[in-house]
Structure 1
């Protein structure tokens, strides 16, 4: 699975002589912005708030260097691996159907499993699962920066409404039971050239830390409680985004059944246990 910068997605609206209803039930006047247009955080004026936004972008894109297990400052080694947030939240959270951040700030707090879930709790869920590490301090600069970046990337997005393209691409139930053996063959032909035959990914060249292509299983990958360790999540992500150089949600490279099969293969592989199962 390889890399590509996909084009932004323009939301469909009608332009009439009044108010037009959009997507999940909110109403806007005229044409809304292109929520997925590229945003250069380093063109922002030099203010303390904008510096926090820029640091948030760096945390998303340079996670291993700043808060990974190999971070230069030992006090900031919160993650237990050297993955980067942008390796699941593609284009720094700006790509549709690649777990984008556009509606994230406006969606929290939210109800989950009959409990109120805050944005800080959701971020720390990623830290303990996908990053296989420990929570960020809720009042620390790193948490403030991530929230500031998410607020910035979703600026003016409507509250309580998920913009089209949020989350992952919905898939129909598989026509055949997902099969890991079929998935292994597809992985060998379409994914192993980048992710490696053993799913180990590709490390950056020293002195850089982290991965240019993330590992999909093994000790350096996300743990068994991460969303991507679940077949349904992995299949939706794969269908819309992989292989990276040739795919976006409008032009999938794999069929839905192939995505299910690859997901069955990847999620069946060994990875770190969830935090409650790890030895202390």
Structure 2
């Protein structure tokens, strides 16, 4: 059962939203470029990740102010486990630090925290910290902030298919019961609507195994800006670009006086 989110902020009248006439309901972001940002400055890669955490704060704050109810951030992929142990450990420590520093802000702004991905692969201390944040923010209803951690779109689909097959094996369902809608209920993201907009930073033009099932009709926005440099203005430009798109979902979108294109 999907949770109901009331995105409208009690302070929304104080924020000029006239430019955002058609806001996306769900924004997903592939936060890319932390390492390159650090390398360009002759800094350790972990410093790039730390600078990237500041961009996370900027984007979460802006999303909340602009009444975007769902924000999903690709924070750590399944493939990232192959990175040097020192970097992985630093990322895990940074994640715990982020939760500790932001939990009160999330509560103050009624932001519910959630995680998708193979959390069982995470260190126990991180696992417990995530559970704590999810439990403490479970009643928050203004926005959902989701981190994709130890995440793989392919693995999520395989996991969902396996779970459905088990239910068939148990006699709970039959193979004929399978539909796209029912299959979605087996995904980690079952409580989230499909993303309307996917943003990727750093100039790479690919989706990198992120939300493969969910982004079937998602609008894509690519920017050369490295994630630590991604500003509120960059975010605003991505949303303005989104507003200019015509989303037909496979239909022609033609009026009675127009031909199908």
Provide the TM-score with structure 2 as the length reference: 0.27
What TM-score, normalized by structure 1, do the two folds share? 0.26
Q: Which structure is richer in relative contact order (CA contacts within 8 A, separation 6 or more)?
A: 2
Q: Decide which structure has greater helix share.
A: 2
The structure with the largest strand share of the pair is 2
